[in-house]
């Protein structure tokens, strides 16, 4: 019956002897990582939007120059084009520092916690919530995809 889509995948069940409090605590660490992943996505959005703003500014300054305002366009260009967003950093460097530091370390600890306490299994807490909330046997409420 283990291959039936109305039973949870063994990869989403707690290992034998692991209590609910541990599963919930590990789920909390994973949930915190998910917030970090969302923050990282926002950091990438910041990176992309800042680059887009720079490109739009360059186009606008060209138009300002074409409209007869070369001196002002040159002043703005000299100050803003190529300006670091943080001291010594463009946005790609901010992203790299975040990725190489906080994000990598956070991911590593989340995996270590899962490895040590749940045998590396992912989303065990969430799988338990799914089992509590779904209606077994009802279409659209399967425990997992078939196969």
Task: Tell whether the model's pLDDT for residue 56 goes beyond 80.
Answer: yes
What is the share, in percent, of the chain residues with pLDDT greater than 70?
A: 98
Give the largest CA-CA distance in the chain. Answer: 77
Q: Which residues contact 126 (CB under 8 A, 6 or more apart)?
A: 27
Using CA atoms, how far residue 59 sits from 49, 50, 67, 80, 94, in Å, is: 15, 14, 12, 13, 25
The helix (H) or strand (E) run that includes residue 132 is: helix 124-133
pTM for the model stands at 0.85
Q: In this predicted structure, what is the pLDDT of residue 3?
A: 61
Q: How many domains is the chain built from?
A: 1
Average pLDDT for residues 102-108, to the nearest whole number? 99
Does residue 6 fall inside a structural domain?
Answer: no
- In which domain, by residue range, is 123 found? 19-133
Q: In this predicted structure, what is the pLDDT of residue 22?
A: 98
Does residue 39 fall inside a structural domain?
Answer: yes
Q: In this predicted structure, what is the pLDDT of residue 5?
A: 76
Does residue 115 fall inside a structural domain?
Answer: yes
What percent helix, strand, coil does the chain show, rounded to 5? 65, 0, 30
User: How confident is residue 104, by pLDDT bands cut at 50, 70 and 90?
Assistant: very high
Does residue 91 fall inside a structural domain?
Answer: yes
Does residue 8 fall inside a structural domain?
Answer: no
Does residue 122 fall inside a structural domain?
Answer: yes
Q: In this predicted structure, what is the pLDDT of residue 1?
A: 43
């Amino acid at each position: 019956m283990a291959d039936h889509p109305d039973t949870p995948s063994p990869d989403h069940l707690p290992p034998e002897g692991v209590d609910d409090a541990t599963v919930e605590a590990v789920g909390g660490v994973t949930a915190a990582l998910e917030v970090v992943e969302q923050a990282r996505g926002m950091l990438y959005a910041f990176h992309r939007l800042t680059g887009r703003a720079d490109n739009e500014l360059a186009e606008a300054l060209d138009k300002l120059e074409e409209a007869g305002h070369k001196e002002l366009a040159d002043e703005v260009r000299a100050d803003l084009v190529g300006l670091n967003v943080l001291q010594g950093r463009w946005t790609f460097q901010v992203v790299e520092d975040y990725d190489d530091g906080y994000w990598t370390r956070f991911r590593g600890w989340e995996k270590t916690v899962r490895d040590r306490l749940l045998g590396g299994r992912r989303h065990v807490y969430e799988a338990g919530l799914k089992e509590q909330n779904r209606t077994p046997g009802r279409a659209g409420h399967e425990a997992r995809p078939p196969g």
